[in-house]
Structure 1
Amino acid sequence: MSFKFSDLLRSPFAVLASKLDLDFAMCCTAFVVNLFNFFFKRRSREIDEGEANDNAATNNGIVRAASSPHTSTEGRGMITSSSYDYEVFLSFKGSDTRERFTDFLYTSLEDVGLRAFKDDEELRVGEEFAPELLKAINQSKISIPIFSKDYASSIWCLKELVCMVECWKTRGLKIMPIFYDVTPSEVRYQTQGYGEAFRSHKKKKRYDEETMGEWKAALSAVGAINGWDLQSMPNRREAKFAKKVTQEVFNELKKAYLVVSNNLVNVDHHVNEIMDMIGDRKSETRIIGIHGMGGIGKTTIAKIIYNKLSNNFENCCFLSNIREMSQLKGIECLQNQLFCGIVKCKVTDIRNIDEGIMIIKERLSNKRVLLLLDDVDEKNHIDALVGECDWFPKGSKVIITTRKKDILDVPQVDYSYEVNSMDPNRSLQLFSKHAFRRDYPLVEYINKSYKVINIAGGLPLALEVIGSLLSRTKKEMWDVILEKLENVPHAEVQSKLKISYDALDFRQKCIFLDIACLFIGYDKDVVVHFWDESKLFPEEAMEVLQNMSLIKIKEDKKIWMHDQLRDLGREIVHQESNNKIQKQSRVWNPAASLAFLRRHEGEIKVEALRLKSNCTFTYEDFMRLSNLRFLEVVDNQKVNYGAESRFLQHKMLSNVPPGNVFQENSNLLLQLQWLSWHNIPQILDITNFSGKNMVILDLSNSKITQHWNGWSHMKVMKKLKVLNLTECCCLERTPNFSAQENLQHLILQGCVNLVEIDRSIGQLKHLVSLDIRYCSNLRRLPIEPVRWKALEELLIDSTLIKEIPNCQGMKNLRIFTASNSAIITLPHSIGELTTLEYLSLDNCRCLERLPDSIVNLESLIEMDIRGTMIKKLPDSIGNLKNLKVVKMTGSLISKIPDTLWTMEKLEEIEAAVNQRLHVKIGNGIYRSQSLRILNFGYAKIYTAPKFPESLISLHLSMLYMKTFPDLSNLSNLKELYLSFDARTYDVRSYELPKDAMPWWIGKLSKLESLSLSSSYVTTLPTDISLLPQLKALDLACSNLCCLPRLPSSLLSLFLCNCRSICSTDLSNLKKLSSLTIQSSAITEIRGLNCLENLEDLHLYCVAQLNILPDISNLKKLKSLRVRLCGNLVEIQGKLPQSLEELMICSCDSLRKLPDLSSFRGKKRVDRKANLLLCQEKFVEFEGDETNKRAKIEYEYGSEGEDSESKYEYEGDETNKRAKTEYEYGSEGEDSESKYESEGEDSESKYESEGEYEE
């Protein structure tokens, strides 16, 4: 049984103290306190310390703090990512005040929800300043020193006071002193008892003058602060005074605190990255913009950051819903709210925006402020509220949230940050918090939970709303609600998202709806031609949609839209037609399209239609589609195009003569601009089809040849701009393109039998992109590219083309890729491609050199020569002033020119797996402040220079280094990979000291991933535990003797070949999701049952491990693999219900399996479950999609030996004991395995709720 001090102080005695006469109540309370101190003081201290250590992530909540002390944002889904474990730190001399005033104050603070750290001086050991005290002071918002007569006689109290003053100076810690039974002047000038205390310290000669000088300076500084003078108060009613102090402390904290949810997940990385942008409190004024789609969590993240910073500012202001407020009450109202919130005055009459600007600029120019402007919608909001950076003094911070990215593109904004959707795992955790009030779903609701995750698409708003809805709904109704949500979006979520849609103009809305219904995943450069024909000004519209976070254009130019926004667009189309499909402007569901055509007579106003290719549609169907602009025939099934092709004769054209769906009427589909027909039949006749308005023709994956009669009809397609013939595998020669004079995009990707491109391609003066990638039989271009003056993209990857004849005329070429091609040389004229930005030649195994003229590519941004036979880079490569990325991994380059290190814009150098490379890195690299990624894995580096602080990723092989490099200055480094193990190589030139240690690792505060491979490292620095963002740790250090305490932020830990580590304690790694131990001498894994977020546990060749501790508490464990652990005799506890994969292999000493009942009984998980159990060989357990049936297969083989192995395992009543006999057949024969269970024959049936069979 455990007790807490605060529990007793909330007893009836403490209540009496606030309502009855103080003396009587104090006697009662004192009695209880003394009794408690005598029996339970040390136990309470241990509990309090344990709680403090558990609170690795911090909490900012005032009301929340007392009831929710666990605040890890990753492991427990929390919440604020605050840096405060305690709001208040109490410093006092125990014998003077503990049993009276301090206890009253501590209780009073906790009663209003403030988490206070109350240090107990008598429980300290020795004179070393305890780390938990330093942490508590550093992480508190307010420190309250209680100055009593003997305060200065306590060394600990003085040390605490010095730490407070340092925090006050460095981060603005609020100090609120209480002068209990001394005057402020005694403290400030060290007179009377304080002077005597210092004379006593001096006599002891244990502390030098400098230390005592620091103590005196701290007393003088704090003594000068206005505080509470209890000695001067009449009656000295301490309980009442404690309440007064509590009220003032509460008000001080409340003034800037913004309430955030207790159920947030995965906000730490957002907060940390934005805090890096903000900088420290003494830096220049920072204006930071946070943008993203509605409901993505911008405001919540901004509030958390605001709460973290608020303690450092006297002047804080939060303006919410600026878009709405400006529309209702005008910007002047917001200006007035800002001004009055900072100066703490009554309402000021600001009559117009200009007057408000003048007042804010002049009256607030001397006030360092913290501002949060939420939901800013226009640039003039920023101009009117924060203006220029010089409006506020140095150190001010302004945070802006908005849906519109473009309004942040103003000089005032220093940095912008985009908030993206949540990944599926975090989505599941957030949904579970709202639906189940826990971090993971109940086993029987896993499938349903994943349905919700798919519906929500990682949008926090949707996850919260749907989770809360289901939590209030009877479980038997869940299927009905989920089915509805899959077809009809939730109204609350949609109303939030529709705000952005309503802000669009007519043309932008059309494009938004087109994307939502049709074009998600389509190439942006192709789709714009469709909108161009309709005069929708797509370039401008798409820029607006991107700025408002309604769409994204991915790196491959594909259009991306969030699922919830997609559903919003489709619901708008439904509502515009009053849910009548014949009135819809767009019909995107192929399954409903044919019924739609059949069911409605007369003209149909649909403009975009998607059909199934294996449906029956007729000439009459198309006659009623006079407004159709977009037609896509989706190939849902592979169609047989043989001699008896029924696709045309019996399915498509049931009412017309075979082979001519368009009859003889040239007026059919006159408005059609986009025809996409994958797998179009070779015999389909489109001769009389009107294609005069055709802009985009997509015939991908079709069986058409050069003899198809449709080519001749293409002559009428004068407007054609895009022709897509991707993977037309029967095509050997292209058609004549002379009639398509406006063609801009020709896509022949994957036409594997193509051997010739018609020479008429040279007449395409407007050709912008030519894609002939993976045309593996194409050996040459039909003409010299000199004619393609408009060409911007030339893609010839994986072709047999050996050379480009002449590049002279391609003045607009931006992208040239020839990866895995047969290119043997580049023409000298390539130097004339002054607009070229991207050059990819990776894996061109015949390419041995670059032409000298390549240094004339003044616009080149990225050059990729990985896997080539190139041996040298041009010495004048430094002339490429815009070059940012150089990739040369696997090439034959042996030396890097010195000029490379002087390039001002260079961001990334990749030269891994290149053992020929001798790298001499000049000291000039330190001045390359744009360099972010440096990968020299396995290259020969003899001396490591001082690297630039801008690096975020560094891969180094230190095989040839004489000393361990000093990387302590790399404060921005996120990834570090160091390898210097000689066994990988034949020769080692130098040896590091046997006790080499990267002492500087603890200084890399932003490090997220660390990989260290070395037999020379014997210890790791203890301050590695202070790396707050380290998520992945990979150690392969054979002489590493022990692991220090690792940072609690770790998500992945990989220990390989750590043969000197016998034991490790992982109990503090609450967030760890993956643990792998391989080829190690570990005999025990302590704290394994504490890893509540562990999903993967893999143990390979851990020969000394005897017992795998109880894993039944690992509620999220999905994969357990144990292989080649020869001395393992027991796996303790039951298997967790979450387990999806179990492998126990070649564990010769294992005679007792874990309880398999929960694993075999998992029948509702919508994933394939795998069980591999073997002694030398494998047994495989497979489940189908519903896991209601299982098949057990035994695969054994032996060289003629018979053996028998018996297993005991715990399970349900019918499977408590089983005997497994392995009968190994002779060499070459099939083997058999027989299971006997409860008297059954060798062919046993395993039942789990009656659903398993052999």
Structure 2
Amino acid sequence: PGSRIIITTRDKQLLREMQVLRKGADHDVKVYEVQKLNCNEALQLFHMNASQRFNLGADSAAFLRAVVDYAAGIPLALQIWGSLFRRCKSQQERDCLLNKLRKFPNQKLLNVYRVSYDALDENEREIFLNIACFHKEEAIDDARRQLDACGLFADSGIKTLIDMSLIQIKNKYGNRNFLWMHDVIQEMGWAIVHEQCPEEPGKRSRLWNLDDVCHVLGRNTGTEKVHSISVNLSKIKELNLRAPDFTKMYNLRFLKFYRRYHVKQCNVRLNLKSLPSSLRYLCWPAYPLKSLPPKFSSENLVEISMPNSQLQRLWNEGQNPRNLKRIDLRDCKQLVEVPDLSKSVNIETIDLPGCLQLVEVPSYFKVLHKLGSLNLSHCLNLKILSDMPHNMRFLNLDSTAVEELPTSIFSLEKLVELNLECCEGIKNLPNSSWKLNSLTSLYLCGTSIEGLPLSIDCLSSVASIQLKFCKRLVSLPTSIYKLKSLERLSLEGCSSFRNFPEILEPMKRLEDLSLSLTEIKELPYSIENLVGLKTLRLYECKSLESLPSSIYKLNLTIFALDGCCRLKRMPPSSAILWSSIRG
């Protein structure tokens, strides 16, 4: 009984406000999101408006799939397109019209979505156009970072665009969220930019079409109107930019060259004399020159990404990159020194893995107080490491030539992950008290350490300790049982390891223990205190002779004993039976 009021809107925020106002009232406001049409429903609606049934030949079937995919379940698009295709008399005419719609979208349809765009504020419009031109199907974290780098307010803008049904967040590959936008809405964004100057792309705010970019950079027709350029190098084999002149594009703040990882690298011929000092975001993988132009000023740069480049030095001395937050020069194999970042007081992330010529980390790194992540993995000649700033959270020294770590590293209270894998020069870890209160992951695989210091028991938050193939490792400290947060411990391939320590107190969180390819002869009876253990790997333990009867008290689901040639029999099981164990 009673009445219902149905309100339709593109703005979810309006409905949220109504929910707040009606909270506690007799009738709540309920929000229902209209679902898009599925494939069969979309076909039915299209046929209804086209007033014809298409034959089931291969050409018609492919055409119908293309229309349905392009419409992505939006009824309005199917209705308008159906009426347009009604005039087509042959499959050739239909294919021609579909290609035309992709290049020149129907104005009636664009006008419907233009209402939502016109309701946005300036920040939201800029973000919408950037997503339409540059960031569709990009990981949301990457897009948000790039938008922020350009001086926009990404979080609030993206939220509004979602509420206005102009973009969506979709999960791709099961682990990352990506920005998604319907093709028709994206084309509306393209049309808005194109309208800024239909005849001359150098007078538009954004350039993303390859022909337009080559036209502007090849003929040097860029103007102060251009503030963003993005080029997908995956689509071409060679890009010839003899002498691009950026001097007239003095408002350019976003410059991005990119390619898909599975696509062969594009050959770029370049003679670059200048880059505008207005740049905030610079992405240029496989940059072909030895340095940035000598007159380039880095003062406004927020992020620079130039992996796999021919750089020897990034820039000349005297730079003031005070706004720089992130730098990525991974796999720049000719880079002979870390760029001068002494004035980068806002730097948060430095990625230099695979820079084979680097031999030391500058001492000023310790005063970069906002630096939270430093990746130097596979810098094979890096030997000298300075003190690290106190806000460091991630430190990766995998496969470096470092032999001794500054003791200050073990006082980094915010450090979450320390990776020393394959640092064969590291033979000892300090015995002084460790203050790594936030450390969750410790990677020591392939180092030359003989044991862990007693101070390891201070790692109250550590969840994973990896010691694989530490071939000189002889023992673990008896205090290992004090690591109450430990979930994974691996000593696989530690060929000198013979005695597993007594576990004097229950360890409830340790679920995965690997002792494979070690020289242990037996396990202590106190192994029963690993009450949370689910996986125990002992394969190829050729010296293992016996197991304690307490092994049956463990609630294992995986128990690997393959290749334990000296183990002749299992201990008596008393009355305890194991179930659901996989070997």
TM-score, normalized by the shorter chain, greater than 0.5: yes
1:726 counterpart (289, 307, 311):
307
CA distance in structure 2 between the partners assigned to 1:813 and 1:798 by the alignment: 20
2:474 aligned partner: 894
1:910 aligned partner: 490
> How far does residue 777 in structure 1 lie from its aligned partner after superposition?
1.9
- Tell me if 1:942 matches 2:523: yes
- Tell me if 1:483 matches 2:66: yes
Helix, strand or coil: the match of 1:723?
Answer: strand
Tell me: CA distance 1:625–1:755, structure 2 relative to 1, closer, same or farther (3 Å): closer
Amino acid at match of 1:827: P
- Tell me if 1:955 matches 2:572: no
1:748 aligned partner: 329
CA distance in structure 2 between the partners assigned to 1:934 and 1:544 by the alignment: 47
Helix, strand or coil: the match of 2:337?
Answer: coil
> How far does residue 461 in structure 1 lie from its aligned partner after superposition?
8.7
Please give the per-residue CA displacement for 1:141-169, whole angstroms capped at 9, x wherever unaligned. xxxxxxxxxxxxxxxxxxxxxxxxxxxxx
1:804-823 matches, cutoff 5 A: 804-807=384-387, 810-823=389-402
CA distance in structure 1 between the partners assigned to 2:490 and 2:142 by the alignment: 30
CA distance in structure 2 between the partners assigned to 1:980 and 1:571 by the alignment: 58
CA distance in structure 2 between the partners assigned to 1:675 and 1:603 by the alignment: 16
1:794 aligned partner: 374
Please give the per-residue CA displacement for 1:772-822, whole angstroms capped at 9, x wherever unaligned. 1101122223444223222111111111344444315x1211111011111
> How far does residue 704 in structure 1 lie from its aligned partner after superposition?
0.4
CA distance in structure 1 between the partners assigned to 2:393 and 2:358 by the alignment: 23
> How far does residue 488 in structure 1 lie from its aligned partner after superposition?
3.8
Amino acid at match of 1:896: L
2:280 aligned partner: 695
> How far does residue 725 in structure 1 lie from its aligned partner after superposition?
2.4
CA contact (8 A) 1:885 1:907 kept: yes
TM-score (norm 1): 0.35
- Tell me if 1:583 matches 2:163: no
CA distance in structure 1 between the partners assigned to 2:128 and 2:545 by the alignment: 58
CA distance in structure 1 between the partners assigned to 2:390 and 2:132 by the alignment: 37
Amino acid at match of 2:349: S
2:450 counterpart (852, 871, 896):
871
| Bigger helix share | 1
1:676 aligned partner: 256
CA contact (8 A) 1:489 1:571 kept: no
Tell me: CA distance 1:352–1:729, structure 2 relative to 1, closer, same or farther (3 Å): closer
Please give the per-residue CA displacement for 1:410-441, whole angstroms capped at 9, x wherever unaligned. xxxxxxxxxxxxxxxxxxxxxxxxxxxxxxxx
Please give the per-residue CA displacement for 1:1056-1075, whole angstroms capped at 9, x wherever unaligned. xxxxxxxxxxxxxxxxxxxx
Amino acid at match of 1:818: L
Tell me: CA distance 1:772–1:918, structure 2 relative to 1, closer, same or farther (3 Å): same
2:289 aligned partner: 704
Please give the per-residue CA displacement for 1:680-718, whole angstroms capped at 9, x wherever unaligned. 6441333xx6x2431011232021014x6x232x12x42
Tell me: CA distance 1:514–1:779, structure 2 relative to 1, closer, same or farther (3 Å): same
Tell me: CA distance 1:993–1:922, structure 2 relative to 1, closer, same or farther (3 Å): closer
Amino acid at match of 2:317: N
CA contact (8 A) 2:329 2:353 kept: yes
2:420 aligned partner: 841
> How far does residue 724 in structure 1 lie from its aligned partner after superposition?
2.1
Helix, strand or coil: the match of 1:824?
Answer: coil
> How far does residue 729 in structure 1 lie from its aligned partner after superposition?
2.4
> How far does residue 910 in structure 1 lie from its aligned partner after superposition?
2.2
CA contact (8 A) 1:699 1:724 kept: yes
CA distance in structure 2 between the partners assigned to 1:924 and 1:544 by the alignment: 57
2:230 counterpart (629, 632, 636):
632
Tell me: CA distance 1:911–1:961, structure 2 relative to 1, closer, same or farther (3 Å): same
> How far does residue 852 in structure 1 lie from its aligned partner after superposition?
2.7
Helix, strand or coil: the match of 1:918?
Answer: coil
Tell me: CA distance 1:962–1:949, structure 2 relative to 1, closer, same or farther (3 Å): closer
1:387-398 matches, cutoff 5 A: none
2:569 counterpart (992, 1003, 1006):
992
CA distance in structure 1 between the partners assigned to 2:364 and 2:462 by the alignment: 28
2:264 aligned partner: none
Amino acid at match of 1:962: L
Amino acid at match of 1:673: R
Please give the per-residue CA displacement for 1:88-117, whole angstroms capped at 9, x wherever unaligned. xxxxxxxxxxxxxxxxxxxxxxxxxxxxxx
Which structure has more RCO (C-alpha within 8 Å, separation ≥ 6)? 2
Identical-residue share of aligned pairs (%): 15
CA distance in structure 2 between the partners assigned to 1:629 and 1:822 by the alignment: 43
2:560 aligned partner: 978
Please give the per-residue CA displacement for 1:1101-1141, whole angstroms capped at 9, x wherever unaligned. xxxxxxxxxxxxxxxxxxxxxxxxxxxxxxxxxxxxxxxxx
1:685 aligned partner: 273
CA distance in structure 1 between the partners assigned to 2:62 and 2:489 by the alignment: 53
Please give the per-residue CA displacement for 1:326-378, whole angstroms capped at 9, x wherever unaligned. 969x979xxxxxxxxxxxxxxxxxx9727799xxxxxxxxxxxxxxxxx9879
- Tell me if 1:764 matches 2:341: no
Please give the per-residue CA displacement for 1:578-611, whole angstroms capped at 9, x wherever unaligned. xxx54247xxxxxxxxxx99x9325788543324
Tell me: CA distance 1:524–1:628, structure 2 relative to 1, closer, same or farther (3 Å): farther
Tell me: CA distance 1:353–1:607, structure 2 relative to 1, closer, same or farther (3 Å): same
CA contact (8 A) 2:226 2:252 kept: yes
Tell me, which stretches of 5 or more residues in structure 1 are unaligned? 1-322, 333-350, 358-374, 379-401, 404-458, 496-501, 586-595, 641-645, 650-658, 1013-1254
Helix, strand or coil: the match of 1:479?
Answer: helix
Please give the per-residue CA displacement for 1:868-922, whole angstroms capped at 9, x wherever unaligned. 1111111121111121211111113222223322223222222222243335354
Tell me: CA distance 1:464–1:855, structure 2 relative to 1, closer, same or farther (3 Å): farther
The structure having more radius of gyration, on CA atoms, is: 1
1:353 aligned partner: 24
> How far does residue 473 in structure 1 lie from its aligned partner after superposition?
8.1
CA distance in structure 1 between the partners assigned to 2:23 and 2:235 by the alignment: 66
2:240 aligned partner: 647
Tell me, which stretches of 5 or more residues in structure 2 are unaligned? 1-10, 48-53, 79-115, 259-266
CA contact (8 A) 1:732 1:755 kept: yes
CA contact (8 A) 1:886 1:909 kept: yes
Helix, strand or coil: the match of 2:350?
Answer: strand
Tell me: CA distance 1:486–1:353, structure 2 relative to 1, closer, same or farther (3 Å): closer
- The alignment of Structure 1 onto Structure 2 pairs a total of residues equal to 507
CA distance in structure 2 between the partners assigned to 1:854 and 1:505 by the alignment: 56
Please give the per-residue CA displacement for 1:476-506, whole angstroms capped at 9, x wherever unaligned. 33211233345442326999xxxxxx9x986
Amino acid at match of 1:696: Y
2:186 counterpart (573, 578, 593):
573
CA contact (8 A) 2:241 2:268 kept: no
Amino acid at match of 2:332: C
> How far does residue 743 in structure 1 lie from its aligned partner after superposition?
1.9
Tell me: CA distance 1:947–1:479, structure 2 relative to 1, closer, same or farther (3 Å): farther
CA contact (8 A) 1:964 1:992 kept: no
1:930 counterpart (490, 509, 516):
509
